[in-house]
Amino acid sequence: MTMVLRGGGCDVRCVVVGDDAVGKTSMLMGYATNRYPTQHVPSVFDNYAGSVKVAGRSLHLEIIDTLEEDESPSIRLSEYPGTNIFVVCFSVVRPETLSHVEDIWLPEIRAHAPQTPFILVGTQADLRDSDEICNMLKEKGQEPVSPTQGSAAARRIGAACYIECSPGVEKKLRKIINSAIASVLKVQDVHHATQASMCSIL
């Protein structure tokens, strides 16, 4: 998923990564339509374009969803250059997907965009209370990732923030996107301030 935001002369590019089937597409559809899909969810999300206002700035937002297992990894990797913010997703009821964040996704984005900030998103949080899923995990010697564990992981890997998301909490979807944008704007403001300071010194 790629977001391109244009406004006030600044462009913000955001790429969402994570294992397939962790709820990324449902999250994006929920953001675009303001409600989660209740029927068939496609494997990839159609392009979305709209306006968003963050920190008093009006921006144009475009969202493009991509798959983890594209025919060629180069398709996904081609989205990374010029990225300003990554949204890294995992499912709280699939602990291995959080491990993949540290073992696969973070190394990949660090290899291609070492200085780019990212936020960590735990999806499918509503399933954490499912007895059926908890029993299935227990049989494997596992348990759902708790909010505390998610937050600890975010701090450990250097994420800008940790947010959980699930159906029925559309406000969280806005918070996720707004947090991503705010992280970018903060970095840009610091960069601009640093440049101004350097110019003053010179």
- The total number of structural domains in the chain stands at 1
pLDDT at 199 over 50: no
pLDDT at 130 over 50: yes
Encoding tokens for residue 133? 């899923």
CATH of the domain at 124: 3.40.50.300
Residue 41: what are its φ and ψ, rounded to 5°? -110, 120
Residue 183 one-letter amino acid = S
Q: 18 is in which domain, residue-wise?
A: 2-201
Exposed/middle/buried for residue 79 (C-beta within 10 Å: 0-12, 13-18, 19+)? middle
Average pLDDT over residues 50-75: 69
Express as a percent the part of the chain with pLDDT over 90. Answer: 32
Strand ranges across the sheet with 57-64: 48-54, 57-64, 2-7, 10-18, 85-91, 118-123, 162-164
pLDDT at position 84 is 80
For 106-115, the pLDDT digits (tens) are: 999 999 999 9
For 133-186, the pLDDT digits (tens) are: 999 999 999 999 999 999 999 999 999 889 898 766 556 667 777 777 777 777
Pick the more confident residue, 85 or 151.
Answer: 151
**pTM of the full structure:** 0.79
pLDDT at position 196 is 38
